[in-house]
Amino acid sequence: MSNQLPQIMNAEGRIQSSASKANFHTSTENPMKNAHRFYIDGEWVEPETLKKHDVIDPSTEQVIGTIAIGSAADAEKAIKAARNAFAGFSRTTKDDRLALLKRVLTIVKRRKDEIGDMISREMGAPLIMARAEQAGLGAAHFEETIRAFKTFDFEYMQGSTRIVHEPIGVVAMITPWNWPINQIVCKVAPALATGCTMVLKPSEIAPFNAVILAEIMHEAGVPKGVFNLVQGDGPTVGAVLASHPDVDMVSFTGSTRAGIAVALAAAPTVKRVHQELGGKSPNIILRSADLAGAVRAGVRRCFANSGQSCNAPTRMLVPVERMDEASAVAAREAAALVVGPPSDPRTDIGPVASATQFEKIQALIEKGIAEGAELAAGGPGRPSHLSSGYYVRPTVFSRVTNSMTIAREEIFGPVLSIIGYETEDDAMAIANDTPYGLASFIHGAQSEARTLARRLRTGSVRLNGPAWDGAAPFGGYKRSGNGREYGKFGLHEFTEIKGIVGYAGD
């Protein structure tokens, strides 16, 4: 990584800003010097036992810092702080919480580029994209939560009964590395708005952006114990958060495999489990579509963020008679994408986030070749001009059948499978023939696309490449999870509903 980004590790492995000053010193105590401490009950506290974890820059494969990995005791301490804070925070007024959200948003906007720089270092997103989209969506979700919150009815009459939406309680939040601050804010913002208290465990692969957020929460004046941050792994901290009887809800974003483990851990305490999990999204290109334009857009959408998006359109469905044309267009578009260091403004695709992810993707590319899919672009190994870093060649397979491994498993890398269909009914059957149901995409005549959208078993359907809508519900059917995020739908997830019957009586 070039020195366009701040130097973030000192000799002790603790995080610090460079001489360029990336706004690391804006609050009373700078948590970027506290990568070995946790934010609990409004203070930076030492872990019960210091166990360090290296954070790797995936573009260089070098250590860029260390964090403390929490224990069960650290998680217990954070849960206790959140439980103690809930009684008071849950009774704050809507106006008080709105003012708090606005203060947080103001600081998030001020530090947006710093957050983007950190995400680029942690998980490899191109710097321009990390600032504009990765960090930008974090700010956008606070904005959308505020808009939805202003008109959200926490109480209303239904006949003679008073319906009351109350904060669900203490929320455990377990978040991923692929869109880190985005997925954190999708949980933190509605929890704050509804009067919940929380314990956040971010991914240990991309942990430092969460530390910046903790600093922002501190500066904004979030009351002690309302927001708590404990770094750690899933089997230790995550398991305690999911199973603890003093946690009322666990909100998890990650793989379906890990989501199942969270649900099993949570089951004995019958807490609410809110999950946004994996996907294998179909992108249906109808005969009425501009095939070349739709294929080019589909390739770029699939390969954005190095293919590390749960809703990436990784299965492209095209009319079988136009397979050769679609394959050729996709191959040209993949070849035109620039794979390189995140700091280079020409880069379209940075590295994938970790060695584990790189190896998984390579194995699945090899599997696609072995199972007989036609390799149209890319293939195994790094791009030839890159000798280190977890870089994957943008890969396109054509003539894929929906029974092949590459069409069934979530690859989470820049790998596209093109599948042919005979009729619209055939396309619908292929699209729905998956254990996942997070998102789907349709390109073609708008009236036709609207009709077909209703037949797709996914939580969202995007018609003809629309702009992002932060108020639209986001979440999945089937093994893609349960519950919804974004806007008013996220607010609902963090509330319990009480009916006070006879409220209007004398």
Q: Which residues are catalytic?
A: 276, 310
CA distance 253 to 174: 6
DSSP 320-339: GGGHHHHHHHHHHHHHHSPB
Quick check: 439 and 460 in contact, CB under 8 A? yes
Chain centroid to Cα 190, Å, comes to 15
Helix H or strand E encompassing 302: helix 291-303
Task: Give the residue from 32, 25, 28 showing the smallest Cα distance to 9.
Answer: 32
Inter-axis angle of helices 180-194 and 208-220, nearest 10: 30
Rg (CA), the chain: 23
Helix, strand or coil, per DSSP, at residue 398: strand
**How many helices (H) and strands (E) in the chain?**
16, 22
CA distance 161 to 258: 41
CA distance 26 to 408: 47
The bridge status of strand 436-437 relative to strand 161-167 is unpaired
The sign one gets for the Cα dihedral 379, 383, 389, 395 is negative
User: DSSP class of residue 64?
Assistant: E
Helix H or strand E encompassing 500: strand 495-500
CA distance 81 to 325: 60
Six-digit token pair at 427? 């396309």
What single letter denotes the amino acid at residue 400?
A: V
Six-digit token pair at 369? 């070749």
CA distance 307 to 417: 12
